[in-house]
């Protein structure tokens, strides 16, 4: 389910990042081209770059620097304590920004939350396989994903990779948004791992043909039913091991996607569902991790 937050990126500064942004990436994650693109240029629309923000935590931070970074996001000591609480219902922090583009709005999403899990035991490619073809419903929206097989990839000159420190896979996603928009897209996902963190980058892949990434109206206001091109999205999820409290992981999710003006005439109807979707997915993830927690592992009184 960690992966779902990245791959359902539309649930999944108008200038380039300052020079040297790529150099700030930890060595283990420099092999992740999607992550590097997300920080360097981000989602390019109308020839303009929309880079995603850098993660607040970097490998090698000491405990004081880590806490200071968390406090900046949480806003207060009390809010930080609540964010770090070992509970299915612990809060998350969600920020959404918009940028106007030609005939579209670029939605930029930033999300932070904490879970209890063993970072070394997390295998994003395995989770992707388990979630393949299992529908996810939240906020009157439905998402289905399917891992592309090796023969499908070979036909397009692509290949999956299944390593512990570097893995790559491709997912075909079908979505129905608010009973009004039918959306199809193919995402490339790349995961890299260091001793202290894991990064999953995902981006809409244009290398599968003109019909791979498309949308159409299907609701009451449906027009001729014709498909139109979808410009896509880009996201990354970074999971970092926290020094305090022990056993806690910070999950940072940052995404940008292009919402055509024709979907909702620019109204923030889809945007208004982001919080509901985040809450649903985060709580589902925490429940799953709690079920898989080794017997005898420490839990707080609010964990359940």
pLDDT in tens, 152-173: 999 999 999 988 889 999 999 9
Burial class (CB within 10 angstroms; exposed 0-12, middle 13-18, buried 19+) of 18 = exposed
Residue 6 near residue 239, CB atoms below 8 Å: no
Separation of alpha carbons 208 and 204, rounded Å:
10
Tokens of 288: 């799953």
Count of structural domains, the chain: 1
User: For 247-265, what is the mean pLDDT?
Assistant: 95
Lowest average pLDDT, out of 6-15, 92-101, 125-134, goes to 6-15
The DSSP 8-state label assigned to residue 42 in this structure reads B
Question: What separation in angstroms does the CA of 284 have from each of 11, 87, 195, 210?
Answer: 15, 12, 26, 35
Separation of alpha carbons 47 and 49, rounded Å:
7
Q: Which pLDDT value is given to residue 164?
A: 84
Q: Which pLDDT value is given to residue 301?
A: 37
- What's the whole-number average pLDDT of the chain? 87
Domain ranges, residue 79:
2-291
CB neighbourhood size of 132 (10 A): 15
Q: Indicate whether 110 belongs to any domain.
A: yes
Separation of alpha carbons 90 and 302, rounded Å:
9
Lowest average pLDDT, out of 7-16, 125-134, 161-170, goes to 7-16
pLDDT range class, residue 11, cuts 50, 70, 90: very low
Separation of alpha carbons 156 and 174, rounded Å:
20
Tokens of 120: 């070394």
Q: Indicate whether 165 belongs to any domain.
A: yes
Q: Indicate whether 296 belongs to any domain.
A: no
pLDDT range class, residue 298, cuts 50, 70, 90: low
Q: Which pLDDT value is given to residue 13?
A: 29
Q: Indicate whether 299 belongs to any domain.
A: no
Q: ∠ at Cα 268 (34, 10), nearest 5°?
A: 25
User: For 286-299, what is the mean pLDDT?
Assistant: 77
User: For 255-268, what is the mean pLDDT?
Assistant: 92
Instruction: For the chain, give the percent of residues with pLDDT over 70.
Output: 86
Q: Indicate whether 297 belongs to any domain.
A: no
Tokens of 184: 């199809």
SS3 state of residue 246: coil
SS (H, E, C) 52-121: CCCCCCCCCCCHHHHHHHHHHHHCCHHHHHHHCCCCCCCCCEEEEEEEEECCEEEEEEEEEEEEECCHHH
Does residue 198 surpass a pLDDT of 90? yes
Higher pLDDT, 301 or 124: 124
Q: Indicate whether 302 belongs to any domain.
A: no
User: For 262-271, what is the mean pLDDT?
Assistant: 89
Q: Indicate whether 103 belongs to any domain.
A: yes
User: For 12-36, what is the mean pLDDT?
Assistant: 66
Separation of alpha carbons 71 and 83, rounded Å:
10
Q: Indicate whether 96 belongs to any domain.
A: yes
Question: What separation in angstroms does the CA of 216 have from each of 185, 198, 203, 223, 232?
Answer: 12, 35, 20, 9, 14
How large is the greatest C-alpha to C-alpha distance in the chain, in angstroms?
Answer: 59
Lowest average pLDDT, out of 13-22, 158-167, 240-249, 271-280, goes to 13-22
Lowest average pLDDT, out of 112-126, 170-184, 211-225, 248-262, goes to 211-225
Q: Which pLDDT value is given to residue 132?
A: 67
Does residue 191 surpass a pLDDT of 50? yes
Residue 176 near residue 141, CB atoms below 8 Å: yes
Q: Which pLDDT value is given to residue 213?
A: 97
CATH number for 48 = 3.30.530.20
Question: What separation in angstroms does the CA of 12 have from each of 55, 81, 97, 142, 149?
Answer: 18, 29, 15, 12, 21
pTM reported for the whole predicted model = 0.88
Tokens of 114: 């904490």
């Amino acid at each position: 389910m960690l992966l779902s937050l990245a791959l359902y990126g539309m649930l999944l500064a108008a200038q380039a990042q300052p020079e040297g942004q790529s150099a700030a990436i930890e060595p283990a994650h420099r092999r992740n081209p999607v992550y590097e693109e997300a920080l360097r240029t981000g989602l390019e629309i109308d020839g303009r770059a929309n880079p995603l923000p850098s993660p607040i935590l970097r490998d090698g931070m000491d405990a004081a620097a880590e806490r200071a970074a968390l406090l900046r996001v949480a806003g207060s000591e009390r809010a930080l304590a609540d964010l770090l609480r070992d509970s299915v219902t612990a809060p998350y922090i969600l920020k959404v920004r918009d940028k106007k583009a030609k005939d579209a709005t670029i939605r930029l999403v930033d999300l932070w939350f904490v879970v209890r899990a063993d970072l070394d035991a997390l295998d994003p490619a395995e989770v992707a396989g388990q979630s393949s073809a299992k529908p996810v419903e939240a906020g009157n929206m439905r998402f289905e994903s399917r891992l592309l097989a090796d023969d499908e990839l070979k036909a397009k000159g692509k290949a999956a990779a299944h390593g512990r420190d570097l893995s790559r896979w491709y997912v075909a996603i079908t979505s129905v948004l608010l009973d009004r928009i039918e959306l199809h897209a193919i995402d490339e996902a790349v995961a890299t791992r260091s001793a202290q963190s894991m990064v999953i980058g995902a981006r809409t892949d244009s290398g599968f043909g003109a019909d791979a990434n498309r949308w159409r109206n299907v609701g009451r206001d449906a027009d001729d039913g014709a498909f139109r091109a979808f410009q896509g999205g880009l996201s990354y999820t970074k999971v970092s091991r926290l020094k305090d409290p022990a056993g806690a992981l910070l999950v940072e999710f940052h995404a940008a996607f292009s919402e055509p003006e024709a979907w909702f005439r620019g109204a923030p109807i889809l945007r208004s569902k982001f919080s509901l979707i985040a809450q649903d997915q985060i709580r589902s993830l925490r429940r799953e991790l709690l079920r898989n927690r080794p017997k005898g592992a420490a839990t707080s009184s609010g964990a359940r």
